[in-house]
Structure 1
Amino acid sequence: MENISGLASEIVVAFVIALATGAFTFMGFWRQAKADLEQEYLKRFNDKKWGVYTEFAKLLQAPPQDIFEDGRRQAAETAIASQIVLIGSDEVVRAFRDWRESATVHGKAQRVTDEKLFLLVANMRRDLGIKYSNLEVDDLLGVLNPSLGDG
């Protein structure tokens, strides 16, 4: 009888250890799967940001005759604005709003508007992972549109 009791307690201990090992293994796999899913989501989100920010940069580089006809620039800005509201960081959203307000008040060719545009693009770059930059207003604007960098 004592043998059966000892054997039963060994089986119970082995079962508890196996159960605990299985539980910890499952939790590890679950956490890893969750982390992998979050990484995949962030990658897709950043890919979307890249696309929207690139479209905005293309809009700035387009020849005026291509973007000012039939209100197409306004429509393009509105489409980009709706996407920026959803995917942009808080800083990008604020900078976009500041730039559009400045463009409305000061006009497209004013230095204040150029500086707001620079801040917007700099925030977009930070949002995409470029944390440190030595670019200045004329550097960035001159790349986007040579007529903007003449400030």
Structure 2
Amino acid sequence: SGVPSEITSVVVAMLSRMVFDFALWSRNEPQHPILLVCEEAHRYIPSDRETPTSVARILGRIAKEGRKYGVSLGLITQRPSDLAEGVLSQCGTIIAMRLNNDRDQAFVRAAMPEGARGFLDTLPALRNRECIVCGEGVAIPIRVSFDTLEE
């Protein structure tokens, strides 16, 4: 939020490129796993772009190849249907909170494994601090309730 919006994509592209290049060129060194978290990810990797921007290209490459080099990508968005499909398909674990929009629900349903699809009917009815988790991060698809944080 401290970076002006007109250069945010440039800054994110530069930082992502530097992190990926560092991991790529230090393969023979002890690995230091890195997680890049992109809040409002649909701003950086939109689904409707014919020609991907530099930030979309590097984040897409990290989504596809980053795991080999110890770089992971966490995508956070309130509009999953606005994300590029190829990048979302690379996500190993999906954490889906309440979604009321039919288009967003259909997009998440398509990205989740077959065994989790029964849970997806509950997406519009999830309460605050509840989510559906499926993928590599859990043994089976589960419904999770987060603890309340202290003040």
Q: If each structure's helix is expressed as a fraction of its own residues, which one has the higher value?
A: 1
Larger Rg: 1
Greater share of strand: 2
Q: TM-score range by the shorter chain?
A: under 0.3
